[in-house]
Chain A
Amino acid sequence: MKLYEYPLLLRLSRILTVVLALLVLGLITRPIEEPAWQVVKAGQPEMNLEAIEGALGQGLVVGVLGGFRAILADFLWIRTNTIWERRDRVKLDAMVRLVTTLDPRPEFFWINGSRMIAYDVPNWRIREEGGYDAVPEVRQQAIDLEQAEQAFDLVDQALDFHPDEAKLYLEKGQIYLNRLKDDANAAKWFLKASQQDDAPYFAARIYAELLRKQGLNAEAYAFLKQLHTELPNVPFAQKDIILERIRELENTLEIPFWKRFQAEREPVLETPHQAPAFDTPEPHDHEGHAH
Chain B
Amino acid sequence: MKILDSYTRIRLIAGTTFLEAVRQKFFNSLLLISIALVGSSTFFQQFDFGTGELKFVTDFGFGALFFFGSILSITATTQLFFNEMENRTALTMLAKPVYKLEFLAGKFLGAHLLMLCFTLVITLVLTAILYWREMVLLEHLGPEATLDGPLIRYGDIFIFGFLQWIKFGILAAITLFVASFSNTNLYTIVVSFFMLIICQLQYIARDAYSGMEAGWERFLVQGLGLIFPNFQMFNIGDQLVFDVEKVIPASAILQIAVYGLIYTVAFILLAQLNFRRREI
A binds B: yes
CA gap between A49 and B226 in the complex, in Å = 19
Pick from B64, B204, B227, B270: contact of A49, CB below 8 A. B204
Residues 31-66 of A, flagged 1 when their CB comes within 8 A of B and 0 if not, give 011011101111111011100100000000111011
Known: A26-B225, A32-B258, A74-B48. A40 touches B252 (CB 8 A): yes
A68 B63 Cβ-Cβ under 8 A: yes
B246 A29 Cβ-Cβ under 8 A: no
Chain A residue at minimal CB-CB distance from B254: A36
Complex interface: chain B residues within 8 A of A39 (CB) = 246, 248-249, 252
Residues 205-248 of B, flagged 1 when their CB comes within 8 A of A and 0 if not, give 00110000000000000010111111011011111000010101
CA gap between A111 and B50 in the complex, in Å = 11
Which A62-107 residues sit within 8 Å CB-CB of chain B?
62-63, 65-71, 73-75, 77-78, 103, 105-107
Chain B residue at minimal CB-CB distance from A111: B50
B270 A71 Cβ-Cβ under 8 A: no
CA gap between A114 and B52 in the complex, in Å = 22
Does B99 lie at the interface of the complex (its beta carbon under 8 Å from any beta carbon of A)? no
Interface size class of B (residues with CB under 8 A): 35 or more
A18 B270 Cβ-Cβ under 8 A: yes
Number of A residues near B (Cβ < 8 Å) is 50
Complex interface: chain A residues within 8 A of B246 (CB) = 39, 42-43
Pick from A43, A62, A71, A107: contact of B244, CB below 8 A. A43
Does A134 lie at the interface of the complex (its beta carbon under 8 Å from any beta carbon of B)? no
Does A14 lie at the interface of the complex (its beta carbon under 8 Å from any beta carbon of B)? yes
B227 A67 Cβ-Cβ under 8 A: no
Pick from A19, A66, A103: contact of B67, CB below 8 A. A66
A105 B51 Cβ-Cβ under 8 A: yes
Known: A65-B201, A68-B67. A74 touches B60 (CB 8 A): no
B47 A75 Cβ-Cβ under 8 A: yes
Does A255 lie at the interface of the complex (its beta carbon under 8 Å from any beta carbon of B)? no
CA gap between A280 and B60 in the complex, in Å = 32
Complex interface: chain B residues within 8 A of A18 (CB) = 270, 273
Known: A23-B226, A40-B233, A40-B239. A29 touches B262 (CB 8 A): yes
B237 A67 Cβ-Cβ under 8 A: yes
Known: A21-B270, A108-B50. A43 touches B56 (CB 8 A): no
17 interchain pairs (CB within 8 A)? Answer: A14-B273, A22-B226, A22-B266, A25-B263, A35-B255, A40-B233, A44-B239, A48-B207, A52-B204, A65-B200, A68-B67, A70-B51, A71-B63, A73-B49, A77-B49, A78-B47, A106-B51
Q: Which residues of B contact A (CB under 8 A)?
A: 44, 47-51, 56, 59-60, 62-67, 70, 196-197, 200-201, 203-204, 207-208, 223, 225-230, 232-233, 235-239, 244, 246, 248-249, 252, 255-256, 258-259, 262-263, 266, 270, 273-274
The 7 nearest A-B residue pairs measured at CB: A106-B50, A26-B226, A67-B63, A36-B255, A68-B63, A43-B239, A66-B67
